[in-house]
Amino acid sequence: HIITKKQGPTFCQFQGFWCRSSLVPNIISFQKHFQALDDDIIVASKPKAGTTWLKALVFTIVNRARFSLSNSPLNLTNPHKLIPYLEITVYGQDHIPDLTSIPSPRLFATHLPFAVLAESSIKQAKSRIVYVTRNPLDIIVSFWHFIRGIECPDWPLVECFEMFCRGEEGFGPFWDHALGYWKESSEKPHKVLFLKYEHLKENPIQQIKRIAEFIGFPFSVEEERAGAIEEIKTFCSFSNMKDLVGNMTGTMGRLHIQPKELFRKGEVGDHINYLSPSAIERFCKIVEEKLSGSGLAYDLPC
Protein backbone atom coordinates (compact mmCIF):
# COMPACT_ATOMS: atom_id res chain seq x y z
CA HIS A 1 0.00 0.00 0.00
CA ILE A 2 1.88 3.04 -1.26
CA ILE A 3 0.70 6.59 -0.76
CA THR A 4 1.91 8.97 -3.42
CA LYS A 5 1.73 12.66 -2.77
CA LYS A 6 2.78 15.25 -5.26
CA GLN A 7 4.56 17.60 -2.91
CA GLY A 8 5.58 15.50 0.07
CA PRO A 9 7.74 12.46 0.74
CA THR A 10 6.42 8.99 -0.08
CA PHE A 11 6.21 6.25 2.52
CA CYS A 12 4.96 2.68 2.30
CA GLN A 13 3.52 0.43 4.95
CA PHE A 14 5.84 -2.38 5.95
CA GLN A 15 5.62 -4.74 8.93
CA GLY A 16 3.01 -2.48 10.54
CA PHE A 17 4.85 0.82 10.26
CA TRP A 18 5.62 3.38 7.54
CA CYS A 19 8.93 3.88 5.79
CA ARG A 20 10.50 4.75 2.46
CA SER A 21 10.27 1.77 0.14
CA SER A 22 13.98 2.13 -0.65
CA LEU A 23 14.71 1.15 2.95
CA VAL A 24 12.82 -2.14 2.91
CA PRO A 25 15.72 -4.28 1.58
CA ASN A 26 18.07 -2.73 4.13
CA ILE A 27 15.62 -3.40 6.96
CA ILE A 28 15.24 -7.02 5.90
CA SER A 29 19.01 -7.43 5.69
CA PHE A 30 19.50 -5.84 9.11
CA GLN A 31 16.80 -8.04 10.64
CA LYS A 32 18.32 -11.14 9.10
CA HIS A 33 22.05 -10.58 9.59
CA PHE A 34 22.76 -8.27 12.50
CA GLN A 35 24.15 -10.10 15.50
CA ALA A 36 23.99 -7.94 18.59
CA LEU A 37 26.74 -8.21 21.19
CA ASP A 38 26.07 -7.85 24.89
CA ASP A 39 27.95 -4.56 25.15
CA ASP A 40 26.47 -2.92 22.05
CA ILE A 41 24.80 0.43 22.71
CA ILE A 42 21.93 1.34 20.44
CA VAL A 43 20.57 4.88 20.09
CA ALA A 44 16.91 4.61 19.09
CA SER A 45 14.53 7.37 18.12
CA LYS A 46 11.95 8.64 15.76
CA PRO A 47 13.33 11.20 13.28
CA LYS A 48 13.42 14.74 14.69
CA ALA A 49 13.19 13.66 18.33
CA GLY A 50 16.76 14.74 19.15
CA THR A 51 18.78 11.87 17.65
CA THR A 52 21.77 13.97 16.55
CA TRP A 53 22.08 15.40 20.05
CA LEU A 54 21.78 12.00 21.73
CA LYS A 55 24.37 10.51 19.37
CA ALA A 56 26.81 13.31 20.23
CA LEU A 57 26.21 12.76 23.94
CA VAL A 58 26.54 8.96 23.84
CA PHE A 59 29.67 9.09 21.68
CA THR A 60 31.29 11.68 23.96
CA ILE A 61 30.36 9.88 27.18
CA VAL A 62 31.66 6.52 25.95
CA ASN A 63 34.89 7.90 24.47
CA ARG A 64 35.81 10.46 27.10
CA ALA A 65 38.79 8.44 28.38
CA ARG A 66 40.16 8.03 24.84
CA PHE A 67 39.77 11.56 23.55
CA SER A 68 39.83 14.94 25.21
CA LEU A 69 37.04 17.15 23.88
CA SER A 70 39.50 19.13 21.76
CA ASN A 71 40.60 15.87 20.12
CA SER A 72 37.15 14.33 19.85
CA PRO A 73 36.32 12.87 16.42
CA LEU A 74 33.14 14.92 16.73
CA ASN A 75 35.21 17.97 15.85
CA LEU A 76 35.68 16.55 12.38
CA THR A 77 33.02 13.91 11.87
CA ASN A 78 29.24 14.05 11.80
CA PRO A 79 27.58 12.22 14.75
CA HIS A 80 25.58 10.20 12.20
CA LYS A 81 28.81 8.79 10.81
CA LEU A 82 30.17 8.00 14.27
CA ILE A 83 26.94 6.23 15.29
CA PRO A 84 25.44 4.97 12.02
CA TYR A 85 21.85 3.84 11.47
CA LEU A 86 21.74 0.06 11.12
CA GLU A 87 18.86 0.08 8.62
CA ILE A 88 19.96 3.15 6.66
CA THR A 89 23.73 3.08 6.30
CA VAL A 90 25.13 -0.10 7.86
CA TYR A 91 22.97 -2.67 6.03
CA GLY A 92 22.02 -2.53 2.36
CA GLN A 93 20.40 -4.91 -0.09
CA ASP A 94 23.72 -6.14 -1.45
CA HIS A 95 25.82 -5.21 1.49
CA ILE A 96 26.29 -7.41 4.54
CA PRO A 97 29.01 -5.71 6.53
CA ASP A 98 31.53 -7.42 8.78
CA LEU A 99 31.01 -5.66 12.09
CA THR A 100 33.09 -8.05 14.17
CA SER A 101 36.25 -5.95 14.18
CA ILE A 102 34.61 -2.79 15.54
CA PRO A 103 36.04 -2.11 19.02
CA SER A 104 33.75 -2.59 21.97
CA PRO A 105 31.37 -1.10 22.82
CA ARG A 106 29.96 -0.82 19.32
CA LEU A 107 27.65 2.16 18.89
CA PHE A 108 24.76 1.93 16.47
CA ALA A 109 21.46 3.69 15.88
CA THR A 110 18.03 2.81 14.62
CA HIS A 111 14.79 4.58 13.77
CA LEU A 112 12.92 1.27 13.63
CA PRO A 113 10.07 0.58 16.04
CA PHE A 114 10.97 -1.80 18.88
CA ALA A 115 8.44 -4.37 17.62
CA VAL A 116 10.36 -5.03 14.41
CA LEU A 117 13.83 -5.41 15.91
CA ALA A 118 14.89 -9.03 15.37
CA GLU A 119 13.96 -11.30 18.30
CA SER A 120 17.23 -13.19 18.23
CA SER A 121 19.48 -10.15 18.15
CA ILE A 122 19.16 -6.82 19.97
CA LYS A 123 16.18 -8.06 21.99
CA GLN A 124 17.93 -11.15 23.33
CA ALA A 125 21.46 -9.85 23.80
CA LYS A 126 22.25 -7.75 26.85
CA SER A 127 22.87 -4.80 24.53
CA ARG A 128 21.31 -1.59 25.79
CA ILE A 129 19.01 0.83 24.02
CA VAL A 130 18.87 4.56 24.74
CA TYR A 131 15.63 5.94 23.32
CA VAL A 132 14.77 9.60 22.90
CA THR A 133 11.29 10.92 22.27
CA ARG A 134 9.83 14.41 22.02
CA ASN A 135 6.56 16.31 22.06
CA PRO A 136 5.04 15.06 18.79
CA LEU A 137 3.77 18.54 17.89
CA ASP A 138 7.38 19.75 17.85
CA ILE A 139 8.36 16.64 15.87
CA ILE A 140 5.76 17.52 13.23
CA VAL A 141 7.11 21.06 12.84
CA SER A 142 10.74 19.91 12.86
CA PHE A 143 10.03 17.14 10.34
CA TRP A 144 8.20 19.53 8.02
CA HIS A 145 11.09 22.00 8.01
CA PHE A 146 13.58 19.18 7.49
CA ILE A 147 11.76 17.61 4.54
CA ARG A 148 11.23 21.00 2.94
CA GLY A 149 14.91 21.72 3.32
CA ILE A 150 16.18 18.45 1.89
CA GLU A 151 13.71 17.37 -0.77
CA CYS A 152 10.23 18.91 -0.96
CA PRO A 153 10.43 22.71 -0.77
CA ASP A 154 6.73 23.22 -1.57
CA TRP A 155 5.25 20.71 0.87
CA PRO A 156 2.37 22.39 2.70
CA LEU A 157 2.46 22.10 6.48
CA VAL A 158 -1.16 20.97 6.47
CA GLU A 159 -0.22 17.88 4.45
CA CYS A 160 2.55 17.03 6.85
CA PHE A 161 0.17 17.53 9.77
CA GLU A 162 -2.52 15.31 8.25
CA MET A 163 0.07 12.60 7.58
CA PHE A 164 1.03 12.58 11.26
CA CYS A 165 -2.66 12.51 12.28
CA ARG A 166 -3.06 9.36 10.18
CA GLY A 167 0.17 7.95 11.62
CA GLU A 168 1.63 7.52 8.14
CA GLU A 169 4.89 9.43 8.56
CA GLY A 170 8.29 7.75 8.27
CA PHE A 171 8.77 5.18 11.07
CA GLY A 172 5.31 6.10 12.34
CA PRO A 173 2.78 6.04 13.73
CA PHE A 174 4.39 8.21 16.39
CA TRP A 175 2.36 6.61 19.19
CA ASP A 176 3.25 3.02 18.29
CA HIS A 177 6.93 3.95 18.10
CA ALA A 178 6.96 5.64 21.50
CA LEU A 179 4.76 2.98 23.14
CA GLY A 180 6.95 0.10 21.94
CA TYR A 181 10.06 1.50 23.61
CA TRP A 182 8.06 2.79 26.59
CA LYS A 183 6.63 -0.64 27.37
CA GLU A 184 10.02 -2.28 27.08
CA SER A 185 11.62 0.35 29.31
CA SER A 186 8.87 -0.16 31.91
CA GLU A 187 9.22 -3.94 31.87
CA LYS A 188 13.01 -4.04 31.43
CA PRO A 189 14.52 -0.81 32.74
CA HIS A 190 18.03 -2.31 32.36
CA LYS A 191 17.34 -2.78 28.62
CA VAL A 192 15.82 0.50 27.48
CA LEU A 193 16.44 3.98 28.86
CA PHE A 194 13.50 6.18 27.87
CA LEU A 195 14.47 9.84 27.52
CA LYS A 196 12.54 12.94 26.58
CA TYR A 197 14.03 15.81 24.56
CA GLU A 198 12.32 18.28 26.91
CA HIS A 199 14.01 16.75 29.98
CA LEU A 200 17.38 16.92 28.22
CA LYS A 201 16.77 20.61 27.57
CA GLU A 202 15.51 21.24 31.10
CA ASN A 203 18.19 19.44 33.06
CA PRO A 204 21.00 18.26 30.79
CA ILE A 205 23.42 17.52 33.65
CA GLN A 206 20.99 15.15 35.34
CA GLN A 207 20.10 13.45 32.05
CA ILE A 208 23.75 13.09 30.96
CA LYS A 209 24.44 11.35 34.30
CA ARG A 210 21.47 9.04 33.73
CA ILE A 211 22.68 8.14 30.25
CA ALA A 212 26.25 7.53 31.45
CA GLU A 213 25.11 5.27 34.28
CA PHE A 214 22.72 3.34 32.06
CA ILE A 215 25.28 2.61 29.35
CA GLY A 216 27.90 1.53 31.89
CA PHE A 217 30.13 4.63 31.77
CA PRO A 218 29.23 6.44 35.02
CA PHE A 219 31.08 9.58 36.04
CA SER A 220 33.40 9.25 39.01
CA VAL A 221 33.19 11.71 41.88
CA GLU A 222 36.51 13.18 40.69
CA GLU A 223 35.16 13.69 37.18
CA GLU A 224 32.05 15.35 38.53
CA ARG A 225 34.12 17.62 40.73
CA ALA A 226 36.35 18.50 37.78
CA GLY A 227 33.29 19.57 35.79
CA ALA A 228 33.39 16.78 33.19
CA ILE A 229 29.60 16.61 32.84
CA GLU A 230 29.31 20.35 32.42
CA GLU A 231 31.97 20.22 29.69
CA ILE A 232 30.15 17.47 27.82
CA LYS A 233 26.90 19.42 28.11
CA THR A 234 28.54 22.49 26.55
CA PHE A 235 30.41 20.51 23.92
CA CYS A 236 27.21 18.75 22.73
CA SER A 237 25.00 21.81 23.06
CA PHE A 238 22.93 23.02 20.14
CA SER A 239 25.10 26.09 19.52
CA ASN A 240 28.39 24.19 19.61
CA MET A 241 27.17 21.26 17.50
CA LYS A 242 25.55 23.65 15.03
CA ASP A 243 28.88 25.43 14.62
CA LEU A 244 30.93 22.25 14.47
CA VAL A 245 28.79 19.81 12.54
CA GLY A 246 26.63 22.33 10.71
CA ASN A 247 29.69 23.71 8.99
CA MET A 248 31.06 20.34 7.91
CA THR A 249 31.24 19.70 4.20
CA GLY A 250 29.87 16.68 2.34
CA THR A 251 26.40 15.21 2.36
CA MET A 252 24.86 12.21 4.11
CA GLY A 253 22.90 9.29 2.75
CA ARG A 254 20.75 8.75 -0.28
CA LEU A 255 18.92 12.02 0.28
CA HIS A 256 22.20 13.99 0.23
CA ILE A 257 21.45 15.71 3.50
CA GLN A 258 23.72 18.64 4.27
CA PRO A 259 24.96 18.61 7.89
CA LYS A 260 23.46 22.07 8.47
CA GLU A 261 19.96 20.59 7.91
CA LEU A 262 20.34 18.71 11.21
CA PHE A 263 20.14 21.96 13.17
CA ARG A 264 17.27 24.39 13.09
CA LYS A 265 16.10 25.98 16.36
CA GLY A 266 16.64 23.33 19.00
CA GLU A 267 13.84 24.63 21.21
CA VAL A 268 10.86 23.26 23.07
CA GLY A 269 7.35 24.27 22.02
CA ASP A 270 8.02 25.78 18.58
CA HIS A 271 4.80 24.15 17.29
CA ILE A 272 2.88 27.05 18.76
CA ASN A 273 4.35 29.27 16.03
CA TYR A 274 3.11 27.01 13.22
CA LEU A 275 0.02 25.02 14.20
CA SER A 276 -3.39 26.54 14.87
CA PRO A 277 -5.08 25.99 18.26
CA SER A 278 -7.67 23.73 16.60
CA ALA A 279 -5.01 21.62 14.87
CA ILE A 280 -3.13 21.29 18.15
CA GLU A 281 -6.29 20.26 19.96
CA ARG A 282 -7.17 17.72 17.30
CA PHE A 283 -3.73 16.10 17.35
CA CYS A 284 -3.60 16.10 21.15
CA LYS A 285 -6.89 14.20 21.29
CA ILE A 286 -5.55 11.56 18.92
CA VAL A 287 -2.34 11.14 20.91
CA GLU A 288 -4.17 11.14 24.24
CA GLU A 289 -6.46 8.38 23.05
CA LYS A 290 -3.62 6.29 21.60
CA LEU A 291 -1.54 6.57 24.78
CA SER A 292 -4.40 6.14 27.23
CA GLY A 293 -3.73 3.63 29.96
CA SER A 294 -0.06 3.26 29.06
CA GLY A 295 1.35 5.60 31.70
CA LEU A 296 3.19 7.48 28.95
CA ALA A 297 2.31 11.14 28.65
CA TYR A 298 3.65 14.23 26.93
CA ASP A 299 3.28 17.78 28.09
CA LEU A 300 0.55 18.50 25.55
CA PRO A 301 -1.69 21.56 25.67
CA CYS A 302 -4.98 19.70 25.97
Phi, psi dihedrals of residue 98, rounded to the nearest 5°: -95, 110
Judged by CB under 6 A, the stretch of 43-51, 155-163, 184-192, 285-293 that binds ligand A3P is: 43-51
48 near ligand A3P (CB under 6 A): yes
For residues 132 and 195, the answer to whether their CB atoms sit within 8 Å is yes
**Considering only residues 52, 78, 89, 127, which one is a binding residue for ligand A3P as defined by CB under 6 A?**
52
138 binds ligand A3P (CB under 6 A): yes
261 interacts with ligand A3P by CB under 6 A: no
Q: Residues in contact with ligand A3P, total (CB under 6 A)?
A: 21
Beta pairing class for 12-14 and 17-19: antiparallel
111, 145, 177, 271: the catalytic one is 111
Contact flag: residue 53 with ligand A3P (CB under 6 A) = yes
Judged by beta carbon, residue 213 or residue 267, the one nearer ligand A3P is 267
Instruction: Judge whether 106 and 40 are in contact, CB under 8 Å.
Output: yes
Contact between 148 and ligand A3P per CB under 6 A? no
Contact 13, 25 (CB under 8 A): no
Min CB(271)–ligand A3P separation in Å: 9
Contact status, residue 282 vs residue 170, Cβ threshold 8 Å? no
199 belongs to the catalytic site = no
Closest CA to 133 of 27, 26, 53: 53
**What are the E-state strand segments in 151-285?**
192-196
Give Cβ neighbours of residue 256 (< 8 Å, ≥ 6 apart): 150
- Residue span 59-98 as binding mask against ligand A3P, x where in contact by CB under 6 A, dash where not: ----------------------------------------
Contact 231, 255 (CB under 8 A): no
Q: Does 262 bind ligand A3P (CB under 6 A)?
A: yes
* Chain residues that interact with ligand A3P, rule: CB under 6 A: 45, 47-53, 138, 142, 145, 236-238, 241, 262-266, 270
Instruction: Give the residue numbers annotated as catalytic, written as ranges.
Output: 111
